[in-house]
A and B are shown apart, each in its own frame.
Chain A
Amino acid sequence: MALLNRSDWYDIARDTNWTPKYVTEEELFPKEMSDCFDVPREKWETYDEPYKTSYREYVKVQREKDAGAYSVKAALGRMKFLDSADPGWKSILKLHYGGIALQEYAAGMAEATMARFGRAPGMRNMATFGLLDETRHGQIQLYFPHEYVSKDRQFDWAHKAMHSNDWAAIATRHAFADIMSGRDATSVALMLTFAFETAFTNMQFLGLAADAAEVGDVTFSNLISSIQTDEARHAQIGTPALKILIENGHKEKAQKLVDIAFWRNWRLFAVVTGPSMDYYTPLAKREKSFKEFMVEWIVGQFERNILDIGLDVPWYWDTFLEDLNTTHHGMHLGVWYWRPTVWWDPAAGASPDERDWLEEKYPGWNDTYGKCWDVIIDNIKNGREDLTLPETLPIVCNMNHLPIVGVPGKKWDVRDHYLDYKGRRYHFGSKVDRWVFEQDPDRYAGHQGLIDRFLAGKIQPANLEGALKYMGLQPEDCGKDAHDYAWVWNYNKPDKVAV
């Protein structure tokens, strides 16, 4: 029997709205779980998802994707790429897997929220596939690093990181709980799929796959490409939802949720992708600076997307564009200095040739961040590694839970954007982080950041050793300089040579 074309039956088949008899509509779709905007049901029925697929088609394509990624892994497994990979690239892998793999499962739960509580049949249908996508992403990104665990126990943090109290895990969990697990289905569509996946991950995964290919990591490149194609599909859940919200007079509230999510994701990007691109990737393999990548792929695309749909660029856009010059350099310096507190080995990326590159891409780098690195380099050359390791904790932001950093050196500009609320002082890394808090203070006020926990006596002994223990880091897990300071000795050579 001939099959009907999908277009002949799709709209009827996926229209799973019905009139409930045994419960009320409100009980079936509680506002807190479904739609904080309270758009009427009939309005949601105009939701038209741009990407349509059937379950049969989905399974066929996904099976082929998995077969491709796993067979490449199996075929290249014997090439021992990891043994010869630059330590900086290995750190990118460890950081990626630890920060991402389990959050994919959390994203699956967010997709499940939309699949069950989404008000539009089309949203529920797409999110069902999104749930399957994210489950796959979690599994595949745990399976791939698992084979490296026997060679390097830091890879075990692919599974461990999100179960720990490591500061990077706290920061990641807090951000994703805010845009995924702690929101209703409609807000998830805006904050996760539109503001995070459309703006950031879809593009970032394209860039990451290209970088992996450039350094010769074919397995990882295939894996990331395979994931990106899923992201490109389910990231489209948010756009038709935004269209309905704007048409029904909810532009202002929708704009606020998008603005919050974009900023929260940007700050995570600044500590993960920024250092990876500008410091960890071997100099010879760098295609673009982080800023160039952001301007071309993230800023341009997001501006077009957001204006096309009828929203405005976020109110803090100028601040964000200025941030592209600075924040990730401070985050990198912080991660490198507090390297025992992370599960990867940060590459300093501050050899003479790398500094020339940084100065070219970020004019003024030597007079600012370079001043701090000058002191660090002198200490290593003089045998004072102890002075390149921390004896206290950085203050972390009560919104993004990352160190509060700014510009050092000749243009010293570091600020605490604090706020006193109900008898407690909250510290923020920027005015935008403080603004996010102010939008719904009681949503965030109860959370204790790492410093709050330290001061509350939850970290014992109350020193760095106790902090490492609290974060779940064994001595063998703790990050070290990725190149064992080899980059420093290039400063002694008459002709500068990159490590």
Chain B
Amino acid sequence: MTTVPLCVNFESDFVLQLVPVESDFTMDQVAEAAAHHSLNRRVKPQPGRTLRVRLQDGDAPFDRDATVEQSGFQVMETIEVYYE
């Protein structure tokens, strides 16, 4: 297990942020780690909706239970976290 710093673009926020995650984190855990730095800080939560993770410009999100390692994220990969 290694730490993978990511460049996170969170839906409706104004800035890209550095978010470190572990290589065995699932995409839901990645979304949760990203949300910690945006939701309830500058972005209002949307109860009942699910956060998903995709690469910047990616067409589809990664599976929610896919890990960082399985998803092939590189160090400082730019990802978007958004409400489905």
Chain A residues close to B by CB (< 8 Å): 330, 333-334, 337, 369, 371-372, 374-376, 379, 387-388, 390-395, 403-410, 412, 414-416, 418, 425, 427, 451, 454-455
Contact = CB atoms under 8 A, between A and B. Distances in A.
Contacts, number: 95
5 contacts: A330-B14, A334-B15, A337-B41, A374-B44, A387-B41
A372 B75 contact: no
Given A333-B42, A451-B18, 16 more contacts: A330-B14, A330-B15, A334-B14, A371-B42, A374-B44, A375-B43, A387-B41, A390-B37, A394-B17, A404-B16, A407-B14, A408-B13, A408-B43, A412-B12, A427-B7, A427-B78
Contacts of B61: none
Nearest to A427: B7
Interface of B: 5, 7, 9, 11-19, 36-37, 40-44, 56, 74-76, 78
A274 to B, nearest CB: 14
Contacts of A392: 17-19, 37
Nearest to A409: B12
A334 B40 CA distance: 16
A408 B16 contact: no
B18 A371 contact: no
Name the prevailing secondary structure of the B interface residues. Answer: loop
Contact of A375 (B15, B19, B42, B76): B42
A408 B12 contact: yes
Nearest to A369: B14
A196 B34 CA distance: 39
B4 to A, nearest CB: 11
B1 to A, nearest CB: 17
B7 A416 contact: yes
A337 B14 CA distance: 11
Contacts of B14: 330, 333-334, 369, 372, 405-408, 414
Nearest to A462: B20
Contacts of A404: 15-16
Given A374-B44, A391-B36, A414 B16 contact: yes
